[in-house]
Chains A and B, each alone.
Chain A
Amino acid sequence: MLEITDLHATVDGPNGERRAILNGLTLSVAAGQVHAIMGPNGAGKSTLGYVLAGRAGYAVTGGSVTLDGTDLLALDAHERAAAGLFLGLQYPVEIPGVSNLTFLRTALNAQRRARGEAEASGAEFLKLVKAHAADFGLSLDMLKRAVNVGFSGGEKKRNEMVQMAVLAPRVAVLDETDSGLDIDALRVVADGINRLRSPTTATLLITHYQRLLDYVVPDAVHVLVAGRIVRSGGPELARELETSGYALDQAA
């Protein structure tokens, strides 16, 4: 479903220089599967998410990425979302003056328009949001407030899950969605990921710790070091890394 082949990418530095961060990353996530990517700081985990989503300042210098055969790299960031890609951010952005409801409805309808589908009416949208917000413990009052403004770390991550549930992507890439969460919020987030799991969707969990993987059991675990996958295995690999660390992989 998501095919990443020999991906090379650079990021613009503060002085205009370009640093190579991804160095030939190859990864295939089949429909119905959840894969986890783990790795030390600076391995390129967040860069991978940004490159997939098409953030400005990140340049692909080689390789390919397809979603069900669609060349993602040929699309603008907002077109990738309409094609079914969702990036859950490690640090969700605050947008003063724009309510969560306006933000999400604009996003949903922009995606639907791009796919040639009918837009959701106000009532239809509200019903959809209400149901999902309740699942993730966010009140409608909170969603009437500006996007993520005044939200705690945990609330921001719950909000990401509400957005993901409403937008119903085919491929979700979640960048350290588990960081900074207490155990209750972690369970809520894990529940959201498990709920998205279906034979027709795929999920890529980018994570630093094994903790989330106690609640979301992945089909595969990959170790990312210096911009490429150096080792892959089953769920047991995550537990092994928790005790042994990445020293062995970094030395290799």
Chain B
Amino acid sequence: MTALPTRKDEAWRYSDIAAVAGVWPLASPTRLVVAAGEHVTRTILQDHVSGVAIDSLDVEIEAGATLTLHILAMGGDYGRVAVDVTLGDGAAFEMGGVILGRDDANREIVTTVRHAAPNATSRQTVRTVLDDRATGSFLGKIAVARGAQKSDAVQSVKALLLSRTATANAKPELEIFADDVKCAHGATVGELNKDALFYMASRGIAADEARALLTEAFIADALAEAPDLAERAIAWLRR
């Protein structure tokens, strides 16, 4: 892309365009090839105190290879992680992403997962926790090519609003040109469970601690296999 995107561009509809303009044009995406049969693990951490953070990753996962990607977007006034993945025959893409935001932060994860060949699997688990006036967005496109039979794609997207003035966006998009595939996606936006908060209080747990336990449990699914990132996320939640 050479021209500055606008909010009319699908992949930028929730973005802070003014912030993007300040760093335009963007550097080329980082390119990663996972060779056939290999298993590679990567993490993307955005923890800038302020400013703009944009990470773009183009990945090719060759036949029978696996990429496990963990993303923690908790920095920058505007933060964006864009991942474009192309899967070979029998390849696997496992992604756990967490977006954390408070004050006026705007953070987003944008993925395109291309099932270009048969028998590939993709699992994306995204958890977002937002407070104050923060915005958190996940835009996830799954494209299954003609002939990519036995594709198996799952997207689980959940957002937790700690304040009614925060905004969560979830935009799953499926584009399927094969007829023997499994594609499942679910998106929810909710608040902390008041019954659980009272239950914890009735056992002696103060409100701050109760909220921390519940939010930590909420993000746990996405970072179960990335203890370092999970620790950072928990420290942020307890701040």
Contact = CB atoms under 8 A, between A and B. Distances in A.
Interface of A: 53-56, 76-78, 80-82, 86-87, 89, 92-93, 95-98, 102-104, 106-108, 110-111, 114, 146, 163, 167
A59 to B, nearest CB: 15
B207 A78 contact: yes
A46 to B, nearest CB: 13
Contacts of B207: 76, 78
Interface residues of B, number: 22
Given A93-B195, A97-B218, A78 B201 contact: yes
B213 A76 contact: no
A78 B214 contact: no
Interface of B: 193-196, 198-207, 209, 213-214, 216-218, 220-221
Contact of A93 (B199, B204, B205, B217): B199
Contacts of B221: 97
Chain B interface helix/strand/loop/mixed = helix
Contacts of A95: 193, 196, 199-200, 214, 217
A146 B218 CA distance: 12
Given A95-B217, A96-B217, A106-B213, A55 B205 contact: no
A103 B198 contact: no
Contact of B214 (A54, A89, A92, A98): A98
A78 B204 contact: yes
B192 to A, nearest CB: 11
Contact of A114 (B194, B199, B200, B204): B204
B55 to A, nearest CB: 28
A98 B213 contact: yes
A56 B203 contact: no
A104 B195 CA distance: 17
30 contacts: A54-B202, A55-B202, A56-B194, A76-B206, A77-B198, A77-B201, A78-B201, A81-B204, A86-B203, A87-B202, A89-B199, A89-B202, A93-B196, A93-B199, A95-B196, A95-B200, A95-B217, A97-B217, A97-B220, A98-B214, A104-B203, A106-B209, A107-B203, A107-B204, A108-B204, A110-B204, A110-B206, A111-B204, A163-B203, A167-B203
